[in-house]
Structure 1
Amino acid sequence: MSGVDDHFDGLLDLKLDRVLSMETDQKFTSNGMISRFNWVLGAFKHNILNEEHQPKPTLLIYAHCNERGKRLDGWSCNSRIRFVVESERKSQQYFFDNARFPMTSYRAVPPPSSSGCLANGTIGIELPWDNLIQDFQLSGDKDCLNISVKINVLEQTGYGSLIQLGARFLIHDKIIFFNKYHLATYSSYFRTLFFSNWAQRDGDEYDLTASGDDLEAFQQMLAMSYPVDNFPEPSVSKISDILRLADKYDLPIVTERCERLLINGFSGDDGNVSLPCSSNNANNVCNSCNYIPMVITSNLSNLGNIGQNNNNNHTQLHTHSYQHNHANLNQNNNNIEQHFSLIQKLALAERYQLYNLKAHCLDKMSPAHFCAELRANIEVYNRELSEGLKAELDEKMSAKCTEELTTFQQRQENAQNEGHLPPPHKRCCSMRWINTKKLKKYKKKMRIA
């Protein structure tokens, strides 16, 4: 085995003797401390069901940052990982960039029906047994495999318990309790604010009144920052403000969730998705969080005492969550398109670099739809869309115009050949598409107006 590369912080080794005689599900592991965190390298042979539901022997090799003793702590680790698998005759490498822990399963070339083979929070590669024997030229019973993982830690935090909501934001005489260790894990802005060399360490209250932030949007942004699947959905009218705050305070998890909502709509849009309960407060947000497996009731009950100690006539206790009832949720579902046209979504996508939302809008928008939206959103189009995006939109609409016009002409030819062509005085009325020249002329007229 070669030594650790200069740009790697640690190396773990594992040797598999008599590979061809390995028993199914017999695990081999190696562990060690790298940058103050405990890392584990492991391998085992496992039967994975293929598409025909037949067992397919596979060698599973995995690695993960094993901080199980800190499972209630606000720790994270972002790393670059390289697996090296060697036999006497062959060597092969597998790379993973920006692997973040804690995380969900992350596998190289995941086969179908393989869920459950590797535990959550692992980086893994899966080598089908037949390919393994052929690729690494294993022929004798004494042939072995040497496996190593080289780890370069890019960033890591390990600040404390996520369930302690002891710190406070003050906005317009309103107190919002939050966990600074959680925010420091997910935001470089808050990590600097709370734990840099110049940060105040003798107090847990941070006055953000001078920032001018919208109180409701700020609360909803904090509620959306928890790593839970059923996070509380924001008000439709506040998404723009939440995106601005997420960009300001560097919370990419909130930005991604807002983008997903703008693309897919709210959970009420899909009848198969259960609605959030009517009181998604801090308690049940923590209860439903797979990153925080349990909530110590005493810590949460102390919030009432904290609020009483700081209470006065004009100060109210606010946790970083909010209530959402079914009536408001249904209203959000009905009004999401009313609040955000595709042109407005394009403006948000460009401003906050939401590439998936941009692709969604360009794909969904038709020429006729675009002309109708342009009439209602001409100011947004002229003021907030860059010239580059306008040119891309023009090109996209022109291509769709050409495609639709070709389709229409083909239908006319087919109808004429079949003897079903409408009378001449009705043909122009049946043409619902707009050709490229008329579209550009109309847009130019709207810009002048």
Structure 2
Amino acid sequence: MAVRGTPSWLGDQNAATALRLLLDHGPLSRNGIGEHSGLSRPTAAQMIARLEDKGLIEPVGEESIGRGPRAALYGVRNDLAYGVAINIDQEGVRSALVDLAGTGHEVAHKAASGMPAERSAARDVAGAVLDACEVAGVELAAVRHILVGVPSSVDPRSDELSSVQAMPGWSRKSIRHQLEQALGCEVRVDNDVNLAAVAERAGGGFAPDGTFALLWVGYGLGLAVDVGGTVLHGASGGAGEIGNLPVPRGVLDEETDAVDLEGLLGASALDRIGRETGWAGDAFARTLAGESLPESVLEVYAPRLAQSVIPVLGVIDPEVVVFGGPVGRAGGSRLAELTRRHLRDHTRWNPTVRVSGVGGDAVLAGARSSLSVRLREALVDRAAGTTVEADASRTLAARLRGIG
């Protein structure tokens, strides 16, 4: 690592600047690097040479600059490092490869019913990485970063999960440490709804400094709050665990036996409402299959959902409340409208309420988006000389297939 202020250090900083430009704008010539950076042509040439020496870029074509010779175009190598985004929940495991080019690699899916009886965090994650690499046709040795979304809060201080109910065989203790020890590469574990909020922000539609709350309605109830592009995690990682709040008594027309908001709105509650309103069959399973909630269910469900939104409005007062998760999607714009109307008529708040605009697996989409940023940061650090490539013997490829 070069000493700060020395010519070698300055050369590394210039190289990092050039790499950022290539990541932002795509392939550029030496002249293009100079124009975008404001540095001289000789300096731009040195920046390109330094990145080539580090093995971070390669010639990818030529551009015409008039009648003179064609200038070489340089681009960032896409095969230097990959990440794997993973979403683990009650339904199973979904994973996808992430690269610097933002390629939409196919998602690998393993249903919970088809997974081995002897599960563990290491086995689940290792299997997901193997599946993602096989589907994408990428060697395991190139994987450097793994991001796992789980239906649990993650305490950054103790590295502990709040719940493993949806993940048989998982240990709550030292989750990141145990995964990194087993797999030999960087692993991050995050709450699934927090990752879904990352995807929501990436999808646009929010002011850069705006605040929105994503209420995830599925097996249980979760919340993520995004303030100006930053998702709040809380001191113990428990920000958004709204399902644990007690049900406010005397505010609903009908008596309920639910102790907390998750009991009021979760899968079992939806099934009960479905039976009571004549929506035959397993109501929650039908939402997982993509069916919309009928009006009879919505009229009962919306006031209850509004009760879960009120604490959020009282504490955060976001501009927008977004409904996500299988029940949020199944309720659609009608559920959003009924909930907004209840809030307007019974409280002082009247926020914008809408359904998530993220299609498909929002948790996996958020993990992919976060990993894209991490891959970029790691490569810029290499250009700046602040990190070195890990010993291949310690990478995931050397250990993964041995996890039984």
Normalization by structure 2: what TM-score?
0.24
Q: Larger Rg: 1 or 2?
A: 1
Relative CO higher for 1 or 2, CA cutoff 8 Å, sep ≥ 6? 2
Greater fraction of residues in strand? 1
